[in-house]
Amino acid sequence: MSPVGATPGWSHVRAMLVVVACLVAATLGFVSYAPNRLLSGAAIGVVPAMRLAASPGPAAVFGVTGLVLLASPFLPRRAAWEWAVILAAGGCAAAVLWLAGSYAEGMAAEGPAVARTSLGAACWVLLACTLLLAGDAAARLRLGPAGTLLAAAAIAGPATAVIAAGAVDQLSLAKEYANQRDIFFDAVVRHGEIVVAALLPTVLAGIPLGVATHRRRALRSVLFPVLNIIQTIPSIALFGLLMAPLSGLADALPWLAGLGISGIGMAPAVVALVLYSLLPVVRNTVAGLAGVPAPVREAALGMGMTPGQVFWRIDAPLALPVLLSGVRITAVQAVGLAAVAALIGAGGLGAIMFRGLFANALDLVLLGAIPVILLAVLVDLLMRLLIALTTRRGA
């Protein structure tokens, strides 16, 4: 891999992240310890957590990897140093989780069984800063698909290993997962079903609409204002607006109710997500087709290609990366909005989040929210890799 630069790598972004991480670690609670799941816990700083941890290992790893990240604003802009930052960020994130789990393990051996140790504000900010530092290093490397996967493995691998080894089992979040394990996996599957059920009709309808809009400018002046208005409607309001007509339709046509189409549940959730998702797909389809150079089309026609052949062999391949960018936006948006659909009985991870809100159990809320974030990040990563592959193939 060629070096990304040979000059000193002073970075204002990295310096800001390092300063924020240091200030937060010095002032906010790293973990919180509560006598039970419903009461607010007492904040415990990083240094006390290290002293009370069951093992000195996480503190040592945190110190070594933290020193590399502290020096990251001053490192030369070379590929080797950027990879060092990525590896250190992955190790530091794992060490943060390991340290919190080790503290929880030490307190569990001394305190009551119902006591809970939760991740504090400093822990979350440190995790965010380390991931942002890793993302900055990966962006400087300008990685291809294979390099992106390798960087993702270097960042997520150590933390995954720490979790798989059971080092965080005494944390409140892990205990909530153990109590909700069967419900959790059903919720993940249901969440995925909602997203896929919304994406398929969006793509099948959005791409033809985009092609038609590109070819007929009069349609653009009608379709885009309508889709823009839909985007301005709050998701909760749109779910509510769909409940009445779908309920009436199910009453008028009982066989629809047999298919699961009613005023609550998955049907209004999918319809709402499709309506929200059409604009990015249609807009990017139009933008992708408009970006195809006119001389390329004229050359293809001059070679004897029919308009249909020009579309499938020239327009579609060249417009595909931009089109997929619209699908990426739609997919990530759908993952987040599907959580809100739990309010109308659609299920999914949002159901766990709202159950935690109603029970005033923060870690139960996080048990639903964190997988939604991870799913969105995973979908975004996979779509970016797909876009990179299509861009290279088109080039």
The full set of domains in the chain, from first to last, is 12-171 (no CATH), 181-394 (1.10.3720.10)
pLDDT in tens, 293-349: 888 888 988 888 888 888 899 998 999 999 999 999 999 999 999 999 898 888 899
**Mean per-residue pLDDT for 221-233?**
90
Neighbouring CB atoms inside 10 A of 200's CB total 12
Of the pLDDT bands very low, low, confident and very high (cuts 50, 70, 90), residue 23 is very high
The mean pLDDT value for 32-40 works out to 77
Q: How far apart are CA 85 and CA 116, in angstroms?
A: 33
| pLDDT (0 to 100) of residue 297 | 86
Scanning 30-179, the segments in alpha helix (DSSP H) are 46-52, 57-71, 79-110, 121-141, 145-164, 172-179
Please name the helix (run of DSSP H) or strand (run of DSSP E) that holds residue 270, with its range, or none: helix 266-290
> Does residue 256 register a pLDDT over 70?
no
d(CA 335, CA 194): 9
pLDDT reading at 207 higher than 90: yes
pLDDT band at 2 (very low <50, low <70, confident <90, very high): very low
Mean pLDDT (whole number) for 77-85: 92
CB within 8 A of 252, min separation 6: which ones?
Answer: none
Among 35-49, 125-139, 254-268, 274-288, the least confident range: 254-268
More confident position, 343 or 160: 160
Query: Of residues 13 and 394, which shows the higher confidence score?
Result: 13
Q: What is the pTM of this model?
A: 0.85
Enumerate residues 6+ apart whose C-beta is below 8 A from 197. 266, 270
Question: Is residue 116 predicted with pLDDT exceeding 90?
Answer: no
Q: How far is Cα 46 from Cα 120, in angstroms, rounded to an integer?
A: 10
Q: What is residue 185's predicted lDDT score, i.e. its pLDDT?
A: 92
Three-state DSSP state, 234: coil
The pLDDT of 147-154, averaged and rounded, is 92
Please give the average per-residue pLDDT across 100-107, as a whole number.
Answer: 92
Query: What mean pLDDT value characterizes the chain?
Result: 88
Task: Give pLDDT, residue 7.
Answer: 44
How far, rounded to the nearest angstrom, does the alpha carbon of residue 153 sit from its chain's CA centroid? 16
Residue 80 CA neighbour count, 13 Å, CB half: 2
- The 10 Å CB-count burial string (b at 16+, else e) for 22-56 is eebbeebbbbbbbeebeeebeebbbeebbebbbee
Distance between CA atoms of 122 and 129, rounded to whole angstroms? 10
Q: Label residue 255 by pLDDT band (50, 70, 90).
A: low
Average pLDDT over residues 198-211: 94
Lowest mean pLDDT among 102-116, 164-178, 199-213, 350-364: 102-116
Q: Tell me the mean pLDDT in the region 14-20.
A: 94
Q: What is the pLDDT of residue 3?
A: 45
Span 45-77, pLDDT tens digits: 999 999 988 889 999 999 999 999 999 998 888
65 burial type by CB count under 10 A (0-12 exposed, 13-18 middle, 19+ buried): buried
Given this model, what pLDDT does residue 5 score?
Answer: 44
Rounded to 5°, the CA angle 28-129-326 comes to 130
The residue among 378 and 266 whose pLDDT is bigger is 378
The one-character DSSP state at 72 is G
Residue 393: per-residue pLDDT:
63
Averaged pLDDT for residues 194-221: 92
Q: How many CB atoms lie within 10 A of CB 317?
A: 13
| HSE toward the beta carbon, residue 295, CA cutoff 13 A | 0
Gap between the Cα atoms of 260 and 263, Å rounded: 10
pLDDT above 80: residue 380: yes
Q: Evaluate whether 31 touches 362 at the Cβ level (below 8 Å).
A: no
Q: What is the C-alpha to C-alpha distance for residues 64 and 94, in angstroms, rounded to an integer? A: 12
Q: How far apart are CA 49 and CA 30, in angstroms?
A: 7
Residue 253: predicted pLDDT: 67
96-124 average pLDDT score: 88
